[in-house]
Amino acid sequence: MDGAFFLMNWLYLGMDWLYNVVTPGSLVLTIVIATLIIRGITIFSDINTRKQSMKTAQIQPELDKLKKKYPRQDQAQELSQAQMKLMKENGISMFAGCLPMIITLVVFMSFFSAFRFWGYNEMAKVIYDTSVDEQKGIEEFEKFGFLWVKNIWQPDNMTKNVVMVSNEFFKIDLHKLDCVKNDEKIAEDFVKWGWIGVEEKTDENGNVTKTYTKITDPSKEAVDKYVEISNKIRSHYDSEANGYFVLPVIAAVLNFLSAWVMRKSQPKNQNNPMGNGNFMLFLMPALSFYFCLSYTSAFAIYWSISCLISVAVNVVLSKKYSVKPIENK
């Protein structure tokens, strides 16, 4: 993953190591373990946020008094300074509420990118293995199945084929995949088939350095070669549909439940321009549904498990760090 965000690289390398060393042949178990590790780390920000919310609720009457003390619009700066001073004196961070959302979005996008690259790499290897030994390739491909989903590197979506079509395949930066960079035979055959390009440079000592490049407009022969190989995999399935939209719905519902449980424990803020959090309550579930519907089922499995854990964590934290609105006297 040359040039990628460092967290994406770490997540990809970590999951690839788990898959090949700790859970050989079990992609779903690898995803479960990776999810538990990440959630175990991020739970500390969840706990801190609840503590901050509890402290904020405790000083809410004082914050309301400040609003009455500085009611005019031209006193907004004095009000802001007074609020910041009060919150600082009580050990409350102005940015504590933003931190969990930022962490969630960063991890969300990093996992999304890591799963996409991992899926591209695994599919490229299986396509190559199928070209060499069809039976071996099919056996490797069958490991990508999960319950009703035939291929977790494709979306759980009835409109998506079990194997990506040629125009999707050739959008991949095949020259950047680990299987190409680490296996000379795969690289040579991909070049021979017209799937990637190659540039050779010879230094003053006669050493040849090969640099593989992307082919943006593959030839008809290159496309036909991919179709020929991928059809060997498709022929083993009665239907080309990869799923039934189940995982995207599960991910969206669990994400909504997690946000709803967390919001239910928060005191209502009458001055919230977003309708007391309604916008954010529905934004993440909508994004979850879209990403899980459009991209790999592997990511949808990770996100569903992560959201399920979030529901459990939020229920526990809501009881332990119960935040109740304090009525002004």
Phi–psi pair at 322, nearest 5 degrees: -65, 130
157: alpha, beta or left? (left if phi > 0; alpha if psi -120 to 50): beta
pLDDT of res. 326: 47
The mean pLDDT of 44-73, rounded to a whole number, is: 76
Instruction: Say if strands 196-202 and 208-214 run parallel, antiparallel, or are unpaired.
Output: antiparallel
Nearest to 329, CA basis, from 15, 68, 28: 68
Tokens of 314: 């939020």
CA dist., res. 74 & res. 57, Å (int): 27
Backbone angles phi, psi at 102, to 5 degrees: -65, -45
Q: Is the pLDDT of residue 150 over 60?
A: yes
Give the CA radius of gyration of the chain.
26
The reported pLDDT for the residue numbered 40 is 82
Burial profile 300-310: b = 16 or more Cβ within 10 angstroms, e = fewer: bbbbbbbbbbb
Mean pLDDT throughout 289-309?
A: 89
Query: Would you state the pLDDT for residue 130?
Result: 94
Query: Would the CA dihedral through 70, 71, 75, 79 be positive or negative?
Result: positive
Q: pLDDT tens digits for 175-198?
A: 999 999 999 999 999 999 999 998
The token duo for 276 is 């007391």
Confidence of residue 322 (pLDDT cuts 50, 70, 90): low
Query: For 208-228, what is each residue's pLDDT tens digit?
Result: 888 899 998 999 999 999 999
CB 308 within 8 A of CB 261: no
Q: What is the pLDDT of residues 233-286, one digit of tens each?
A: 988 888 888 989 999 999 999 988 887 877 776 655 544 433 445 676 788 889
Average pLDDT of the residues in 19-34:
87
CA–CA–CA angle 57, 63, 47 (5° rounding)? 30
pLDDT at 267: 55
Long-range contacts of 184-187 (CB under 8 A, 24+ apart): 186/124, 186/125, 186/128, 187/212
The confidence band for 99, taking pLDDT boundaries of 50, 70 and 90, is low
* Range 66-89 average pLDDT: 80
For residue 11, what is the enclosing H or E element? helix 6-17
**Among candidate residues 314, 162, 326, 329, the one with its CA nearest the CA of residue 235:** 162
Distance CA 190, CA 290 (A): 33
Query: What are the φ/ψ torsions at residue 124 (nearest 5 degrees)?
Result: -60, -40
Is 196 within 8 Å of 187 (Cβ atoms)? yes
**Structure confidence at residue 126 as a pLDDT band (50, 70, 90):** very high
Specify the pLDDT at position 6.
76
